[in-house]
Amino acid sequence: MKTISSKILQTTDYAQFKTIRGNREINEAHLKNLVRSIEENGYIPCPIIINEKFGVIDGQHRIEVAKILKLPIHYYILNGASIREVTIVNQNRKNWGFTQWMNRYADYNFQEYKIYKHFYEVWGFDHWSTIFLLCRTKGVRGRGSLKKAFETGALKIETMEEGKKFARRIMDVKPFYANYKRRAFIQAMIRVFHDGRYNHRTFMKKLGLVRDRLYDCSTVGLYLQRIDEVMNYSTPKNQRVNFYYQWGDPDSIFQVKAA
């Protein structure tokens, strides 16, 4: 049973507050904005929430601001609170992103998230691209279910070896296209990787000849058209591919159109 203290307390003993394992990291940009706001507009005390062991449930950034500006910290105690309450607070505020959820579960030894985090940090792709590479998404319409699974600790790594193979293929493009890590490009490439008519060796050979045909695009569909242009270079008409037609559905991740 969790109980809350009946009064707000105050201190300047900053050292007694402790970070709860799995909580989000300090956002330096957000911290600077808070400091600037207080310097310009004045300080309005907003109590932080801690547990009985002085683990911070809500208010990490406010503590850092207080340290910088030498301000008192106002707080109240929620007895028995843990990372679960940290999660609830931040869910309600909608200010956690994929990185915070990743760290939250990886710090608590969720194996799938530890694997995901290693892949994410090694390859340097954005979160959605990493999910596309490591999870079964073929035929999934919309991203809500994938995002919900990620946020609730239900992430499943299902295509690790395939994901590494696809990641290496995407990295092959780097010498020919500087923005090869754009999410729309990665998603377009993953779609064609699932198509039996795609040949990576052929694509790379032709890309070396007509690299000007691959440039920044705003959508997956436009990138698919660029890939078609490269693949169809010096190809007889009856042997040309049309990945855009097959894989260009904007509402799906990897939905195959009906023939």
Task: Identify the pLDDT of residue 250.
Answer: 60
Closest CA to 81 of 50, 107, 103: 50
- The one-letter amino acid at 2: K
pLDDT in tens, 217-228: 999 999 999 999
Q: How confident is the model at residue 39 (pLDDT cuts 50, 70, 90)?
A: confident
φ, ψ at 3 (rounded to 5°): -125, 145
User: Residues 253, 132: contact at Cβ < 8 Å?
Assistant: yes
Q: What pLDDT digit, counting tens, does each position of 95-109 carry? A: 678 998 999 899 889
Comparing 130-139, 184-193, 244-253, the range with the smallest average pLDDT is: 244-253
Task: Give the Cα separation of 48 and 42 in Å (integer).
Answer: 18
Q: Return the closest-CA partner of residue 113 out of 95, 96, 99.
A: 99
Per residue in 157-191, pLDDT (tens digit) is 999 999 999 999 999 999 999 999 999 999 999 99
Rounded Cα distance, 233 and 209, in Å = 9
Q: What are the structural domains of the chain?
A: 3-94 (3.90.1530.10), 112-247 (no CATH)
pLDDT band, residue 257 (cuts 50/70/90): very low
Give the pLDDT of residue 138: 57
- H/E stretch holding 77 reads strand 73-79
What angle in degrees, to the nearest 10, is found between the helix axes of 98-107 and 144-151? Answer: 40
State the Cα–Cα distance between residues 246 and 85, nearest whole angstrom: 46
> Helices (DSSP H) in the chain: which residue ranges?
28-41, 60-69, 83-93, 98-107, 111-123, 127-134, 144-151, 160-172, 183-193, 200-209, 220-231, 243-247
Range in 81-95, 112-126, 228-242 the model is least confident about: 81-95
